[in-house]
Amino acid sequence: MNNHRAAPLAAPLTTNLEGIWDSLRERGYAVADEQSLGLPENFREAFGLAYFNNGTLRRDEGDWPTDRERARDVIFYKWLEGTLELYEFDTITITDRASIAGKREHARVLLTRDQLARQLVQALLMMVPPYRRQGEGTFGVNLFRTYTNVVTSPHHDHQQFIIIYVVNRIGEGAETYLYHPEDIREDGKITGNPILRQGLDPGQLIIFEDEMYKHGATPLHPTPGGMARRDAVVCTVDYHDTYLSSSPVLTNWVSD
């Protein structure tokens, strides 16, 4: 057992974008809340009603955990003098991610067509420090509703940054954790302490460098006599070759 690192602590919430950028530079992760991003108080409730419903989410055969419901979008973005342009990308295919081999297609939701969702995407992309921003790229947005296991095991998504925004949670558990990659053996055995282990409350977010940490979350547990459910937006700030290497002239994305 590797005991040279301190016991895991919950990270304090940062209160502004500059604090998020500083924490990313110093630690490789930052925990914040929606007010830090300038989202209004009623935003989360409105977004949850609009997107976390049976008309948007579906359960896909072969997905894991098996009781997870989800929808997905991929957005092409451009930074122009500190502001963002957003477009719907032409594909949302996931390939060899989260320890699931092969190509996967999930229900698509067209987020750039709705001002509420555009507001969220812009706020989340602003969490990326200016000196780390790509001039243009793709942003994967996954809407996850989980009831038991949140993820299968600690993993990388092999993208630049991961952002998790908790929209609603009922029950206990679902603690997000980060490990140094060398503390997770190939067989999945954990040999060290987590760098961070923190339950994100509704309205809270985390952003972290995917290459620096393997991440996951503990299972959900119902309260006595109750139920368990977590609604979360999990996003990837993609590397260029995730989608754009196959579209060098950028003729196959669709303007909204």
> Looking at the domain assignment, is residue 12 inside a domain?
no
> Average pLDDT in the 198-202 region?
96
CB 144 within 8 A of CB 234: yes
Give the residue with greater pLDDT, 205 vs 7. Answer: 205
- Let me know if residue 98 belongs to a domain: yes
Number of domains in the chain: 1
Residue 195 lies in a domain: yes
Q: Within 10 Å of residue 150's Cβ, how many Cβ atoms?
A: 22
Residue 256 has pLDDT above 50, yes or no: yes
Calculate the CA dihedral of residues 162, 151, 107, 126 and round it to 10 degrees: -20
Q: For residue 168, what are the CA distances in angstroms to 13, 18, 124, 165, 219?
A: 18, 26, 17, 9, 15
In a domain, 251, yes or no: no
With a cut of 80, say whether residue 216 has pLDDT above it: yes
Give the pLDDT band (50/70/90) at residue 2. Answer: very low
Cis peptide before 65 (omega within 30 of 0): yes
Q: Is residue 208 part of a domain?
A: yes
Pairing of strands 29-33, 13-14: parallel
Structure tokens at 26: 């110093």
Give residue-wise pLDDT tens across range 145-161: 999 988 778 889 999 99
Q: Is residue 6 part of a domain?
A: no
Domain that holds residue 135: 28-246
pLDDT tens profile 87-114? 999 999 987 655 566 677 889 999 999 9
Q: What is the CATH number of the domain that holds 48?
A: 2.60.120.620
- What are the angstrom distances between the C-alpha of 175 and each of 197, 201, 215? 6, 10, 11
Is residue 111 within 8 Å of residue 47, measured between CB atoms? no
Type and span of the H or E element at 13: strand 13-14
